[in-house]
Structure 1
Amino acid sequence: MWSSAIKEYKNYLHLERGLSENSIEAYIHDIEKLHQFLEIKEMKVGPTEVTDRHIREFLQYLGELGMTPSSQSRFLSGLKGFFKYMFAEDLIKDDPTQLVEAPRLSRKLPDTLSVQEIDQLLAAIDHSTPEGTRNRAMLEILYGSGLRVSELIELTLSNVYTELGFLRIVGKGNKERLVPMGSEATKYLNIYLEQVRCHVTPQKDHENYVFLNARGKGLSRVWVFLVIKELAQIINLQKNISPHTFRHSFATHLIEGGADLRAVQEMLGHESITTTEIYTHLDRDYLKQIMHDFHPRS
């Protein structure tokens, strides 16, 4: 049902609206993500059966994956076009998006960085110092694997598999997950481990931490926050950013690039929104392929 409805809508956008291929793909992308969400939630709902509740739950789900209200609004806009078309063609009696308001902008959520802004932040790091080499690896992993800052500073050498391009992350509630690293994250982590980390003498009980300061102790959350703030000042970035901004950007760039929602959910270490939902872990090779295909720094 979804495939035929999407095909017909695609023809409409091409023949009657005269849109370019890129514009058409952007519209279709939003609809396919709604379809993916319904499948993840095991809701057997066709395009003519979608209600405003389904749309709201979809937007909430995107928000929990780290999408900002502005990104959610863009998805809603794409869906409005689709259901407006369905209503005009008498395929549905009511437009389910008509009563759904765009998510309100919240100051609590950090801004999302563009790929260009992330490149500028990384380029502002002084790579001539051991600290700079460490900071580059640290931020590449924050953005390249979507880690929480607590997961970053608690990352241990025994949980790093650079030859496989994976990290074993111990997240909330001591739940473990395997997260693929982008090629740039793997590259800069190797440089840090081989050229800097090996020359630092760890203090007692800090021997296994990946990221250490010059005194051989693990980093604090506040310290990571200050590094990012300093880089933002260097490039005169007029956004309120934190370590979590990189996690938001990771999820946003993957989803907007076309990545599978379930894969992004698993990489972030999110539990299902409904606790009764049966969760199937995805094959690690598939997660790695998702990163390769859709992450801007892979």
Structure 2
Amino acid sequence: MAPSALPGHGKNALVVGASRGMGRQVAVDLALKGGYAVGVAAKTRSPPGAALDGVDPNSPESTVDTVAHDIVKAGGRAHAVTVDVRDENSVKAMVEEAVQKFGKLDVLVYNSGAIWWASVKDTPLKRFQLMQRVNPEGLYATVSCALPHLAEDARVVVVSPPIYSRFTRGKTAYAMGKFGMSALTLGLAQDWKREASPPRKAITSLWPAAAIDSAATRHNDPSGETRKDLRKATIFSDAVLAILAAPPERVNGLLTTDEDFLRDAAGVRDFAQYSLVPGTAPRRIMPAVFPSLRVAEEDDEGVRMNSVALRQAKL
């Protein structure tokens, strides 16, 4: 396929949390499969003079510098950007740098995340606060800063799950933040539906249906005994590309998994290609069917309060 025929040719993407694992794979495939110019954003940078070639994508040595280097070396366009998503000024600077480098943002992917899976009793308040700052607050800051710079047909992909009961088990504090991220997807999608019908922009939450090989899975299982239950990160990046190719009304406000979207919207039937260990069938960790969050009175919200209008009326 010629570069001019690539679906993202001439378009720009910003991937936040792209130094390793799924985020890295999404950034690489947006650039090399999708033809996007990609802002590769995360907190970690390589030391001056550090080797950038041949770095393990799930190791601490994988940074925004090595990812951008790999993309450019393979013929893509990429720019490394530093960000601490807990700091609003840092988020603003990241967005401004990406926009100055590439122009309007056609795609925004938020993959940054902090994780601590334990019972409420075993989750210190500081751990809870860190997860809220990185997960829902970091997402909200990033989206807020990016909104003025989004293209008219922009897409946003959030790494957060469908909302269902079992997800809270043994990780309540983590689930509170992740469900908050999915709530932002639902709410912003409704904002965009009010702006245009059908909507021109779309925001989607995407989550792995089976565990994916990452720095976290390697840290939790140094012996590698659970490798047979892992998939390659390419399943997630393929799902992101499929979401970007779908009509906005199909994916705006959608909470889904990589496997489900690839099967339902892209016609993928062979998921063995994504198994980390050839010949294995990784166990699905998400439910086969998710509950619907829609209610019968979905479009009847009565008189909606608008805090901005109320404040202006008091001035």
Sort the TM-score into its range (normalised by shorter chain). Answer: under 0.3
The structure with the largest helix share of the pair is 1
Larger radius of gyration: 1
Q: What's the TM-score once normalised by structure 2's chain length?
A: 0.25
Q: Larger strand proportion, structure 1 or 2?
A: 2
Which structure has more relative contact order (CA 8 Å, sep 6+)? It is 1
**TM-score when scaled to structure 1?**
0.26
